[in-house]
Amino acid sequence: MGPILPQVAQSRGVGLGTVGLIFSTYAFANFAVSPYLGKALQTGAVQRKTLLFSGLLICGGSAAAFGLVTLVQNPHVFTAICLLLRVVNGVGSAAVDTSSFSMISGLYAGSEAFGTMMGIAESFLSLGWIVGPLVGGYAAQVAGFAAPFFLTAAVTFLTVPVLIFLMPQSQVEGAERPKVPVTIGRLLRQPIVGVLLVAGMLAAGSLTFLDPTLGPFLQRVWGWDVATIGLGFGTTAVLYAIITPFAGWVGDKVGMSVIIVAGFVFMAVGYVLLGPAPPLQALLGRVFGSWLIWVSLSFIGLGAGMAFVPLLPALLNGLADVGIEEEGLADVVSGLLSGSFSMGGGVGPLLGGLLAALLGFEWAAAGFGLVLASIGVAVSIVSTLAARTAAARTAALESAPSMPSLATGSRSAAAHSRQPAMSPRPPLMSALSGHGQPHAANHLHEPLLSGGHGSDRQNSC
């Protein structure tokens, strides 16, 4: 949708800010509906397969309907129909996401294959994000605006009978037992939680900020056609998919916060050079050529992948550093991250469209790049402070008077039982300079999200 909708909307007199709102509506609808669908599954109010098939049919129907919006010429009616269809598509996608991940959890939770299956599911979601702009751009170039939407609808509808035939008939059903929630208020009062949640929101927003604005900019300034614009979006997606498997592994070696900060630096550089920023134009003129567009989009994709993957381990590590290690913490943190990703995916196009309309694309991209750089600095600061707090707590425990042997043994056993989750790791500044030991936290390398994927990255419909 990114490579083709903005141009069609603008040809009907729809502003970039409104186009951004159209893109954002999908994520907001997905974010609003997903928790209620999960609760309905847990209470048994709806069966998993019923929710899955209903979501697929809703997604296919809304996609087919979107292919007909070019029949509407009035800008107000066009906008209203697009907003309605995006809401419907977001609800359908939330149903698909929630039910499919619930099925995976029901089939594989507690087994060694659980993480593997979640990883496969995440890989296919990324594959859809990669293929979508490429196929959509070329289909629209060859057969017109409606072609990619009709193709998506056909594939979605055909998926239903295939799943009916292949899906197990009994194991996928059954309500999940509700989990006792961990108090969220205490978590949100921790600076590291707030900063990393904002980081997650901006990382998601970095992938959708360009949806309503990049296509018109590349067409106006560089004369790119729709297919080439789709290839540009696809470049970001491909490099995102390539870097994500390695980001967590490297984070184990050098520290998760280091990878997050590096990711935001990459994204900031990519956005500043994308226009490029007007001061750079005045200094060097337009001698960059279109090759700089490819470099910038590559930096954004690599940086987003580096920022996304380590967020959950970094949050859990940071909370442990300040003494918060309650059971079930990972579930609450995953929910908070899911919300931040959905919000970022929705705010990104809206913010991108509004800033481009007010400031022009070059200043909008450069300004967003500076925001990304600022949050990278904030992550560095709060991570270092949390690590220093952990060091102070450890020193206080070591200097405390000796306890009776039985109590000491109990405390040592308890500490040993938590050791795999929170082994010592260096502050961010020390890690950047090469000192200290890396953090293990192998068991934390689970998928960041266990359900609703709010960013347009997961617009699998």
**323 Rama sector, left if φ>0, alpha if ψ -120 to 50, beta otherwise:** left
pLDDT of residue 299: 96
Output the pLDDT for position 270: 94
Annotate the chain with three-state secondary structure.
CCCCHHHHHHHCCCCHHHHHHHHHHHHHHHHHHHHHHHHHHHHCCCCHHHHHHHHHHHHHHHHHHHCCHHHCCCHHHHHHHHHHHHHHHHHHHHHHHHHHHHHHHHHHCCCCCHHHHHHHHHHHHHHHHHHHHHHHHHHHHHHCCHHHHHHHHHHHHHHHHHHHHHCCCCCCCCCCCCCCCCCHHHHHCCHHHHHHHHHHHHHHHHHHCCCCCHHHHHHHHCCCCHHHHHHHHHHHHHHHHHHHHHHHHHHHHHCHHHHHHHHHHHHHHHHHHHCCCHHHHHHHCCCCCCHHHHHHHHHHHHHHHHHHCCHHHHHHHHHHHCCCCCCCHHHHHHHHHHHHHHHHHHHHHHHHHHHHHHHCHHHHHHHHHHHHHHHHHHHHHHHHHHHHHHHHHHHHHHHCCCCCHHHHHHHHHHHHHHCCCCCCCCCHHHHHCCCCCCCCCHHHCCCCCCCCCCCHHHCCC
pLDDT bucket at 420, cuts 50 / 70 / 90: very low
pLDDT band at 384; cut points 50, 70, 90: confident
Handedness of CA 195, 200, 203, 208 (dihedral sign): negative
On whether the CB atoms of residues 84 and 26 are closer than 8 A, the answer is no
| CB-CB contact of 206 with 348 (8 Å) | yes
Q: For residue 99, name the pLDDT band (cuts at 50, 70, 90).
A: confident
For residue 455, the Cα-to-chain-centroid distance in whole angstroms is 5
Res 196: pLDDT:
92
In the structure encoding, which two tokens stand for residue 49, read together? Answer: 């397969």
The alpha carbon torsion through 226, 243, 454, 27 (nearest 10 deg) reads: -20
Sequence-separated (6 or more) residues with CB below 8 Å from residue 294: 232, 235
Give dist(CA 406, CA 234) in Å, integer: 61
pLDDT-wise least confident of 2-11, 200-209, 343-352, 404-413: 404-413
Confidence of residue 334 (pLDDT cuts 50, 70, 90): low
- More reliable by pLDDT, 336 or 355: 355
> What whole-number distance in Å separates Cα of residue 322 and Cα of residue 1?
43
Q: List the structure tokens of 282.
A: 């005045």
The answer on pLDDT for 430 being more than 50 is: no
Q: How confident is the model at residue 446 (pLDDT cuts 50, 70, 90)?
A: very low
Query: Residue range 407-424: average pLDDT?
Result: 39
Please list, in sequence order, all residues whose beta carbon lies within 8 angstroms of the beta carbon of residue 22, skipping any fewer than 6 positions away.
5, 9, 79, 82, 83, 86, 212, 349
Percent of the chain scoring above 90 in pLDDT = 21
More confident residue, 402 or 217: 217
Q: What's the rounded Cα separation, in Å, for the pair 196 and 63?
A: 34
Tell me the torsion sign for CA atoms 27, 33, 39, 41. negative
Instruction: Name the residue with higher pLDDT: 231 or 80.
Output: 80
Q: What is the mean pLDDT of residues 410-421?
A: 39
| Contact call for residues 209 and 351 (beta carbons, < 8 A) | yes
- pLDDT at residue number 400: 65
Residue 320 half-sphere exposure toward CB, CA atoms < 13 A: 21
N- to C-terminal Cα distance for the chain?
A: 11
Taking CA atoms, 165 is separated from 8, 84, 105, in Å, by: 39, 32, 21
Please report the pLDDT score of residue 410 as a whole number: 39
State CA 397 to chain mean position distance.
39
Say whether pLDDT at 7 is over 90. no
Query: 1-171 and 184-445: same fold?
Result: yes
The yes-or-no verdict on residue 178 having pLDDT over 70 is: no
pLDDT: which is higher, 249 or 443: 249
Mean pLDDT of 221-246: 83
In total, the chain counts a number of residues equal to: 461
Provide the mean pLDDT of the chain.
Answer: 75
CATH of domain 1-171: 1.20.1250
Judged against a pLDDT cut of 70, whether residue 445 lies above it is answered with no
Selection from 248, 195, 421, 429 nearest residue 321 by Cα: 421
The pLDDT, as a whole number, for residue 40 is 72
Residue 183's pLDDT band (boundaries 50, 70, 90)? low
Domain boundaries, the chain: 1-171, 184-445
Average pLDDT over residues 72-94: 91
> Has residue 292 got a pLDDT over 90?
no
Task: Please give the CATH superfamily to which domain 184-445 belongs.
Answer: MFS general substrate transporter like domains (1.20.1250.20)
179 CB-near residues (< 8 Å, 6+ apart): 328, 331
- Which of the four pLDDT bands, split at 50, 70 and 90, describes residue 245? confident
CA 212, chain centre distance (Å) = 18
What is the maximum span of the chain, computed from C-alpha positions, in angstroms?
82
Average pLDDT rounded to a whole number, residues 50-78? 92
Identify the band that residue 419 occupies on the pLDDT scale cut at 50, 70 and 90.
very low
Which residue in this structure is represented by tokens 């050098």? 254
84 pLDDT more than 90: yes
**Are 55 and 96 spatial neighbours (Cβ–Cβ below 8 Å)?**
yes
For residue 88, what pLDDT is reported? 94
Of 181 and 38, more confident: 38
Chain center to CA of 222 = 29
Residue 102 pLDDT: 67
pLDDT score at 265: 96
Tens digits of residue pLDDT in 110-157: 455 444 454 455 556 667 777 777 788 788 888 888 888 999 899 999
- pLDDT band at 37, cuts 50/70/90? confident
